[in-house]
Amino acid sequence: RATTTASYTGAIVGKLLGSMATCENHMNISSEKTVGGLVGLLVANGSIENSYNTGKIIGNIAGGLVGSAINSELDNEGNKYYTSGYVSNCYNTGEVLGNIAGGIAGRANGYYIVNCIVNSEVKTSDGVCGGVVGYLSLQDMENTPLVSVDENVYGGVMGCRVSGTVSGTHGVLVGEIHCTNTRGKIYIENNVVKQDLYLIGNKNSFATNENAVVEIISNKMSTDNAFEGDFDYDNASYYASNEWV
């Protein structure tokens, strides 16, 4: 078991700007800050593929594979640039506990989580947690000077399967969604969940700006409503079409 007070902690690397594949962790990790089973912080167009975690992960922001995945980084002159990254074909069987907790990622901004499996308990004492991602967002881009940006910056959870349990009334797939930028889209598509909970759990989920798009389609779920509460999408485009099983 490893215990740390570092800002970003992972069994393999604390901060990753690049790619990782075919890695595994079986160690329990505890941190007061941001922690992931493999990577503490995944930035810009970083990626994790074909990897897994079985260890228990505990932190403020905690994820089975990655603590936080943030799609921005600074260039050599100190300017921000944005591009989407992804975590794909990974699985987690280790328990995750945090203020913001996710079976794959605690927090993901501008990232895809694709074809991942979670078969573990994800829980929070008084925060936000989701079976795949605790806090999923696309935000803070429109007010930042950009060096370069993919005009189709996307993020979302697609093709994932959750057969573990999520504590309380949180989202069996995503704990909370925030979409405030004008450039991208959030996709929640083709996922399968077993627990009888809402796909998106927190009542504070929202999307703003007329060019924002949120799609929640072709998911197999156990409840007849995707959200725990009313989804505040203002002028954003919002589509929902799912299968209840």
pLDDT single digits (tens) 101-134: 999 999 998 889 999 999 999 999 888 999 999 9
Q: What is the pLDDT averaged over residues 21-29?
A: 97
Residue 210 pLDDT: 61
Residue 1 pLDDT: 61
pLDDT single digits (tens) 46-98: 899 999 999 999 999 999 999 999 876 666 666 665 667 899 999 999 999 99
Instruction: Decide: 94 and 123 in contact? Cβ < 8 Å.
Output: no
Give the torsion through C-alpha atoms of 198, 200, 201, 207, to 10 deg.
-140
Q: What is the pLDDT averaged over residues 184-190?
A: 84
Cα separation, 195 vs 245, whole angstroms: 11
Beta bridge partners of 193: 162
Residue 152 pLDDT: 57
Q: What pTM does this model have?
A: 0.89
Instruction: Decide: 220 and 192 in contact? Cβ < 8 Å.
Output: yes
Residue 187 pLDDT: 87
Phi and psi torsions of 47, nearest 5°: -150, 150
Q: What is the pLDDT averaged over residues 140-159?
A: 61
Cα separation, 189 vs 219, whole angstroms: 6
Q: What is the pLDDT averaged over residues 189-202?
A: 84
The one-character DSSP state at 223 is: S
